[in-house]
Amino acid sequence: MAAAPRVNPEDFFSPEEWALLSQRSSWRGLACVAHCWAVIGAAMALSAWSPWFIPLAVLWVGNRQLGLFILMHDAAHAVLHPDRRINDAVGFWFCGTEMRAYRSYHLQHHRYVQQTEDPDLVLSAPFPISRASLRRKMWRDISGQTFYKQRIAPGVMAWRSPAPGLNRWSSLGQWMHQERWFLGGNAVFALAFAAVGCLWLWLVLWLLPMATWLPLITRLRNISEHALVAPNEPDPLGNPPLLQGCRK
């Protein structure tokens, strides 16, 4: 059981206020998704026209990849569209995640936010950290090490050190099944770009931002949302920041 009690919105909002806050638009969420893909497409088109745009385009694309992850989060809360089927389809096909598994996991985070049962507590538990530690983490992000650790290394380990009772191929197949959305989506992208003779665009303006800029800004977002918040705070509306500052 969570340390903090649940909050009833009706204790703080009138029915009219809560209805206004909880209403879902049939077009705003879809427009946000379309905007993300439009920016990604424009960044790729500009870079294909002039390679001088590539450094800036890497930042644009990585930023909008994070935007798609944020919209995936909104789809998990069923707020992208009033129709749940459309909401989940957009979250899956255009934001990149199968909704059922992610929704179950993520709603547990909101139910027990900053409590012992919170599955995302690991995002805030290490803080505060030293500046040197933060610099090391940021370097690992921007250099691709975080991407490798999260996305590639588990597959390498599955092959090198199969789980008990599994051979190498079975262990690798298990990892591929777990990462099927990531692997499948990137395979489709790579084939599509290769078919039109622009495989380099996928490598430089999809995979490179995903492996470098995206992990860095995702970490900064996680810090801003989760760090320096006291765990197991008894007041569910409190969660006051820890007044400790950064360790020297």
Cβ pair 38, 46 in contact under 8 A: no
Is the pLDDT at 55 greater than 50, yes or no?
yes
Report how far residue 58's alpha carbon sits from residue 72's, in angstroms, rounded to the nearest whole number: 21
* Helices 153-160 & 168-178 angle (0-180, nearest 10): 160
Alpha-carbon distance of 75 to 68, in angstroms, equals 10
Structure confidence at residue 38 (pLDDT): 97
Distance CA 52, CA 149 (A): 30
Q: Please provide residue 241's backbone torsions phi and psi, each rounded to the nearest 5 degrees.
A: -65, 145
In the structure, what pLDDT confidence band is assigned to residue 5 with cuts at 50, 70 and 90? low
Q: pTM for the full model?
A: 0.87
Distance CA 248, CA 130 (A): 6
Alpha carbons 185 and 99: distance in angstroms, whole number:
15
Is the pLDDT at 105 greater than 60, yes or no?
yes
Residue 241 pairs in a beta bridge with 229
| Spacing of C-alpha 244 from chain mean position | 28
Instruction: Report which of residues 181 and 141 the model is more confident about.
Output: 141
Burial call 20-58: b when 16+ CB within 10 Å, e when fewer: eeeeeeeeebbebbeebeebbeebbebbeeeeebbeebb
Res 125 pLDDT > 80: no
In which region does residue 228 sit, left (phi positive, over 0), alpha (psi from -120 to 50) or beta (all else)? left
For the residues 94-98, what does the mean pLDDT come to? 82
Q: Which helix (H) or strand (E) holds 144?
A: none
Using one digit for the tens of pLDDT, what is the confidence trace for 192-204? 999 999 999 999 9
How high does pLDDT run on average in the chain? 87
Strands (E), the chain: none
Two tokens at 167?
């051979």
Q: Which residue, among 67, 5, 2, has the nearest Cα to 35 in the 3D structure?
A: 67
- The C-alpha atoms of residue 43 and residue 201 are separated, in whole angstroms, by 10
